[in-house]
Structure 1
């Protein structure tokens, strides 16, 4: 486990709070009462929290926040990993000292989160962290891993496929590229020129996004592309259609396109997240952590993540 920053005082804890919706500038670290586990709940001492684009998207404005059921004052971050330190009445399968990871919707960047282990996917869940998976890595799995799994299920890749993945170096892309390769597919991943070596390390053949993308993909894959994932916007969808990929084998995660399926983590098959964690533990899948920050630097971390040019995941250490 990583070195941890200062431990909270008894009865008090730190949490990121927003008193207004907006960008990273509205994020503050506050001292708050430590939450307590009630019946059917466990309390987790958080050691790491992974950031995702949805974190700042949800809290950018009041209208978007309302769609996710968020009100002020709000917390921040969803992916977490840590250790169970309280178990409420009626809970089975968890005990103090258990290492866990999961999702706590818009409240994960805090010293403690209270979880209902039978709660909703991503919003309120806990899973046992496998031996061999460190907390920083475990804190990156829930949102991005599930989203990648759901998107790949739409296009159903196999050894005869060549898949074009747009935004291949991002938080979801690092999972999607590797899972596609595990499925036996050839992967062509879009990114900036600076991301080429990173994409090759993941197992993708890099191609620069932007004007002329379709021609560059044709040159790389004269035999054609059979499927596509657009993990950023709509450019990859448009190019895939130009290349003759049927809409049924195209999937988006960050845009809605008529005729094309959109996937998110809630669509992932039961057990998908646990399988991803097992693959990480077995060394079949790796999660590059691009940067880690102490909770006191939450604004800096959120700015980096929101820039959408980071290669891999951004993690907050607690």
Structure 2
């Protein structure tokens, strides 16, 4: 199969577009013919070795955890799927090596769900990791109907999905973003505010009674700002602030979860959730896709088109 791989840690320049053996399919896995693969910041962080203290890594390493594709073969005890089924997945395993930047990926069934019919392959590939991060963060702070939720980095790949999920739950959403993304946030149902110095005052002007919950997808001290505004200081979750637990909030490291992924698909098929796709690259140009991700200015998801 064709795949993007590296023999060493480094930047995007260490990646090669090459031939690798087809993956082996375990008893509780299926072989997926990849249609598209999502690109996430964690991909280039793994490539740089940042997660080495946390996850065992083996070379040659194929990056990528997001996939949308078609089941091509089924493991001996993978009764959940049949050949030809269309699936999406957040294919994070216990060790990092066999990722989704490839024509084929062996995916444990616990990481998969049915592809939402309403999403294109590109949109579907951008949903799993970002969607699950948003969904599980909102669940951690128990955001619900009638509440005011503050979403930090609301125009990004995760934040834009969190806005839609919270709106679908009946919450009022205030989202931080640069001014150029304010109309985009309004189109998703959020009330935009500009991030940076004075953020707390700008949020108070919209919600003088305070906010009920906050989710942080950017870091940089916004947990502290959130806690100034929260009625209950514990109802803040972050994927980016390693000190949030010590401040009484919640740290979120997204987990593969079929039920949560299925719920996201149901929101999409009900017309309540879409996946903004910022850029699409062919698999062979994965290095350039990662460079764009590293720039940190993308509105929506970056996706690799594989087959």
Please confirm whether the aligned pair reaches a TM-score higher than 0.5, indicating the same fold: yes
Distance 2:86 2:108 in 1: 15
Q: Counterpart of 1:292? A: 280
- Structure 1 position 263, deviation (Å): 1.5
Question: Is 1:253 aligned to 2:228, yes or no?
Answer: no
Q: Structure 1 residues 227 and 37 mapped into 2: Cα distance closer, same or farther (>3 Å)?
A: closer
The change in CA–CA distance for 1:24 and 1:158 in structure 2 (over 3 A counts) is same
Larger CA deviation: 200-209 vs 129-138:
129-138
Alpha carbons 1:58, 1:68 under 8 Å: kept: no
Q: In structure 2, how many angstroms separate the alpha carbons of the residues matched to 1:116 and 1:230?
A: 29
The secondary structure found in structure 2 opposite 1:248 is coil
Aligned to 1:121: none
Q: Which shifted more, 72-81 or 33-42?
A: 33-42
Asked if the contact 1:229–1:236 (Cα under 8 Å) also holds between the matched residues in 2, the reply is: no
Q: Point out where structure 1 has 5 or more consecutive residues left out of the alignment.
A: 1-12, 119-124
SS at 2:208's partner residue?
coil
Pair 99,240 (structure 1): closer, same or farther in 2 beyond 3 Å: same
Superposition deviation, residue 300 in structure 1: 1.1
CA distance in 2, matches of 1:77, 1:269: 17
The answer on 1:91 being equivalent to 2:78 is yes
Cα distance change, pair 21–163 in 1 and its aligned pair in 2 (3 A): same
**Cα offset, 1:222, TM superposition:** 2.3
CA distance in 1, matches of 2:264, 2:139: 14
Matched with 2:59 is 72
The answer for the alignment partner of 2:224 in structure 1 is: 238
Normalised by the length of structure 1, the TM-score is: 0.88
Q: Which residue of 1 aligns with 2:259?
A: 271
Question: Displacement of 1:40 after TM fit?
Answer: 4.0
Per-residue CA distance 1:60-100 (angstroms, 9 max, x = gap): 12x62341221222111100011111223333232221111
CA contact (8 A) 1:165 1:236 kept: no
> Which 5+ residue runs of structure 2 have no aligned equivalent?
none
Q: Does 1:34 align with 2:22?
A: yes
Identify the residue that residue 186 of structure 1 maps to in structure 2: 172
> Does residue 217 in structure 1 map to residue 217 in structure 2?
no
Q: Which residue of 1 aligns with 2:297?
A: 309
| Distance in 1 of aligned mates of 2:77 and 2:226 | 51
1:54 corresponds, among 18, 42, 59, to 42
* Deviation sequence 1:123-154 (CA, Å, 0-9, x none): xx232223333221221222111111111112
1:138-179 per-position Cα deviation (integer Å, ceiling 9, x unaligned):
212221111111111122123332121111111111111111
**Is the alpha carbon distance of 1:271 and 1:41 closer, same or farther for their aligned partners in structure 2, counting shifts above 3 Å?**
closer
Rounded to whole Å, the distance in 2 between the matches of 1:195 and 1:217 is 17
Contact 2:213 2:230 survives alignment (8 Å): no
Give me the CA root mean square deviation.
1.9
Report whether the alignment pairs 1:22 with 2:10.
Answer: yes
Distance 1:194 1:283 in 2: 25
Q: How many residues align?
A: 298
Q: CA deviation at 1:55?
A: 1.4
| Distance in 1 separating the partners of 2:18 and 2:72 | 21
Does residue 229 in structure 1 map to residue 193 in structure 2? no
Partner of 1:3: none
Q: After alignment, is 286-295 or 234-243 more displaced?
A: 234-243
TM-score if structure 2 supplies the norm length? Answer: 0.91
How far is 1:217 from its partner?
1.3
Partner of 2:103: 111
Between 304-313 and 128-137, report the one with greater CA deviation. Answer: 128-137
Q: What SS does the aligned partner of 1:284 have?
A: coil
Contact 2:200 2:225 in 1 (8 A): yes
